[in-house]
Amino acid sequence: MSLSIEITQARFPLAQVFRISRGAKTAADVITVTVSNGEHIGYGESVPYARYDESLDSVSKQLQAAKKHIRHLDDHSSLAHYLPAGSARNALDCALWDLKAKVSGRSVSALLSLDVTQQCFTAQTISVDSIENMQASARKLAGAPLIKVKLDPDAVVEKIRAIHEVTPQSKLIVDANEGWSIDDLKAVAAPLKACNVVLIEQPIPAQDDGVLESYRCPIPLCADESCHTSEDLSVLKRRYQSVNIKLDKTGGLTEAVTLYREAKSLGFSVMVGCMVGSSLAMAPAFLLCAHADFVDLDGPLLIAQDRPQGFRFENGRMWQPTPFLWGQP
């Protein structure tokens, strides 16, 4: 069964400016991979990330170079020989899984022996802004089960207290995106715990996070930029209590499943996360959410217009409508 592979680029304007500690963005620039056997078509989406030296052009070139090696569905297992873990491999890996589902007549969750995720609650994100604006954003989400707050080193405690004040029942995840020092972390950890912060994500730059081995934080710490594949887990076990699995880091669903299973076996809690993209990017990650400890797949809520037949959201609850855009026969 010979395959044809097409690589395209797309831009999804955001509903509003999205800010994290290292900068702001107004659109999600994505790669879409389409794989066809002449009868069925599989789709995959990835989000090139400058933090990992990726761009739309560099990822497109990686895929153009690799696609000549992929001629049959059985070649799926050899992707790691041609592409490193990252967004290029992710888009192709997920497109091949989607095609397999359509050719086999079985869902991707069935093909991978994953428990079906009927629905889950995703974190809803508040991006870096002034105290007043972040509190106003929180007020709109008041009562949400889980809120993720992006923070730089400025006014950390004041911002979280303002958010906690207007939605005291919500559990909070704080995401520093490598923007803090160990001294910053030590200074804010106890006050944040008092404000119902249940997880702190990647407080220290990945290259410096060895300092966490000698620090016991009162709030569990989650590795994001420090966690890419299952090979990272042995080192991370000494520094973190949780890992954030993003398919654009693992290089697709295949490695994400391995990382998920190994992380759980080692006692990590697991967050299933995302870059900012459409429902096509979220769909493969959603398959890991049945037993995930935290879910952060609100990318479609951040863009102004999602793809057709994408996820449905209501007060943080997300589910797949029927028909759905990915992974089904």
User: How buried is residue 20: exposed, middle or buried, by Cβ count under 10 Å (0-12/13-18/19+)?
Assistant: buried
Q: How far apart are CA 83 and CA 56, in angstroms?
A: 15
User: What share of the chain in percent tops pLDDT 90?
Assistant: 94
Tens-place pLDDT, residues 214-247: 999 999 999 999 999 999 999 999 999 999 999 9
Give residue 274's Cα distance to chain centre.
Answer: 2
- The domains located in the chain, with CATH, are 4-105 (3.30.390.10), 119-319 (3.20.20.120)
- Residue 120 pLDDT exceeds 70: yes
Count other C-beta atoms under 10 Å from residue 13's C-beta.
Answer: 11
- Least confident residue range of 22-26, 96-100, 147-151, 275-279: 22-26
Q: Is 41 helix (H, G, I), strand (E, B) or coil?
A: strand
For residue 151, give the DSSP letter. Answer: -
Dihedral pair phi/psi, residue 60, rounded to 5°: -60, -40
pLDDT at 271: 98
Q: What is the mean pLDDT of residues 83-107?
A: 98
- Per-residue pLDDT band for 72 (boundaries 50, 70, 90) equals confident
Tokens 């991707």: give the residue: 108
Mean pLDDT over residues 272-280, rounded? 97
pLDDT (0 to 100) of residue 306: 98
**Is 285 strand, coil or helix?**
helix
Sign of CA dihedral 158, 162, 163, 165: positive
Rounded Cα–Cα distance for residues 298 and 313 (Å): 9
Asked whether the predicted pLDDT for residue 211 surpasses 70, the reply is: yes
Q: Are 294 and 123 in contact (CB under 8 A)?
A: yes
Q: What is the overall mean pLDDT for the chain?
A: 96
